[in-house]
Structure formats: structure tokens, C-alpha cells
Chain A
Amino acid sequence: MKYILLMSSARTGVESYHAWSKQDIEAHMAALQSIHKDLTASGEFVATQGLTGPSEAKVVRGEKNGVPVTDGIFPESKEFLLGYWIVDVANAGRAYAIAGRISAAPGPGGKPTNMPIEVRQFASHESNSE
């Protein structure tokens, strides 16, 4: 069963991540790499992607005279998707466990970030990714 694990944050959260100490950044990245390795070994890993930050985000609403209507302004409270993991697991419990592990990755001061991770199942027959 494929699940997507979504990591989002409001703009301020993104800015504060960029201000972590070098040590904390490195510890965080190492933890994520370790998770990646384990999921690959267990065969549960499908994909992971990071997205560029809020400063590069645009919203498109239809088009006018053949030109897309784009906008780069978002409310302060908007939650931006930062990245996601896609896993293929035996059951929902396993997806939550993986999400829990990602959430426990160390943050400032080496303490778990406790970041809330949204877990969603893919709608089955529309899966077209490779």
C-alpha cells in the first residue's frame, strides 16, 4: 500500500530551519540519510523529494488571453509543502511508524523536531508514477 508522508511548514518555520547551527543541520541530514538507507534495505522506499522554498512558490489560476495567471503572494499562515516521502508498506501502522521516525529526527540542540507529518494513502488505481 502506497502512502505519502508530507512535511509542511509555515514560512517562519522554513526560515528558522535555515538558521540552525551547522552541527544541527548535519545531524539532521545524517538522520534522514540513515532512514533512507533503512527503507531502501527493507524495500519500502519508493521516493523522496524536497521542494524549493516559499520564495519560489507560485500559484496559477487559469489563463487570460492565453497567458497563465500567476501569483506569488500567499497568506502568512499558509503551510508550504517542504518535501515528502513515498513508501510502499504492508499496512497503515507501518506508514505511521516511518513517519514517527522522520518526526524524531534531531533538530536544534539535537532534540527531536517532533515535526508533525501528514500521512495520506494514495488513491489506488490512479497511480501512474514510475
Chain B
Amino acid sequence: MKYILMMTGKKSDFEGYASWSKADLQANVSFMRAFSKELKDSGVFVSTEGLGWPSEAKLVRAGKNGEPITDGVFPESKEFLAGYWIIDVESPDQAYEVAARASQAPGPGGKPANMPIEVRPVLSGHADLGL
């Protein structure tokens, strides 16, 4: 079963992250690298991506005549996706365990940040044998 594990943050969270000490940033990056490797070694890794900064985000709507309308203005409270992992595991509990691990990435002062990680099942193109 495939699950997506998402890390999000408000604009202020991103700005906060950007002002961490060099040591804290490096610790976080190292953790993330090691974490991805763990996922690969245990045979559950499907993909992971980091996303660009919220300042680069655009909201697009269909415009008239096929021209898209783009907008870069978001409310302060908006949660932006920072990055995600997609894993293939045997059970929801296993997905939560992996998420708990990701959540412990070190934050300021090198302590586990206990960041909230949203866990969602990914839809498959499969259909159950019952039909």
C-alpha cells in the first residue's frame, strides 16, 4: 500500500527554517539524507521530493480564452507543502511508524522537532477482486 507523507509549513515556518544556525541546518539535511537511505535500504522507498520556496509558488486558475490567470498572493495562514515521501508498506501502522521517524528530524538546537507529518493513502489504479 502506498502512502504519502507530507511536511508542510506556513510562510513564517519557512522563514524560520531559513534562519536556523548552519549547524542546525546541516543536522537536518543529514537526517533527511539518512532517512531517505533508511527507506531505500528497507525496501519501502518509492519517491521523495523537496519543493521550492513559498515565495516562488503560484496559484493558477483557468482564464478566459485558455489563458491561465496566475497569482502569487496567499494568506499568511496558508500551509505550503515543503516536501514529501511516498512509501510502499504493508500496513497503515507501518506508514505511521515511518512518519513518526520523519517527524523526529532535528530542529533548532538539534532537538527532535516532532514536526507534524500528514499521512495519506495514495489511490491506486487497482480494483479489488470483489467486483
Contact = CB atoms under 8 A, between A and B. Distances in A.
- Are any A and B Cβ atoms less than 8 Å apart in their complex? yes
Interface of A: 4-6, 49-52, 56-63, 68-70, 78-79, 81, 83, 92, 96-97, 99-101, 103-104, 112-123, 126-130
B15 interface: no
Contacts of A112: 62
Contact of B6 (A61, A81, A118): A81
Contacts of A68: 93, 96-97, 99-100
A114 B62 CA distance: 5
Given A51-B121, A121-B56, 14 more contacts: A50-B123, A52-B120, A58-B118, A60-B118, A68-B99, A81-B4, A96-B70, A97-B68, A100-B61, A116-B60, A120-B51, A122-B52, A126-B49, A129-B47
11 contacts: A4-B49, A49-B86, A57-B118, A58-B96, A63-B97, A100-B69, A104-B62, A120-B56, A126-B50, A128-B47, A129-B47
A22 to B, nearest CB: 18
B66 A100 contact: yes
Contacts of B71: 116
B123 A120 contact: no
Contact of A123 (B52, B92, B119): B52
B12 to A, nearest CB: 17
B61 A115 contact: yes
Nearest to B101: A63
Interface in B24-60: 36, 45-52, 56-60
B70 to A, nearest CB: 5
A103 B118 contact: no
B121 A103 contact: no
Contacts of A5: 60
Contacts of B115: 61
A4 to B, nearest CB: 7
B57 A117 contact: no
Contacts of A70: 96, 119
Contact of A60 (B79, B99, B112): B99
Nearest to A49: B122
Contacts of A69: 100
A115 B59 CA distance: 10
B130 interface: no
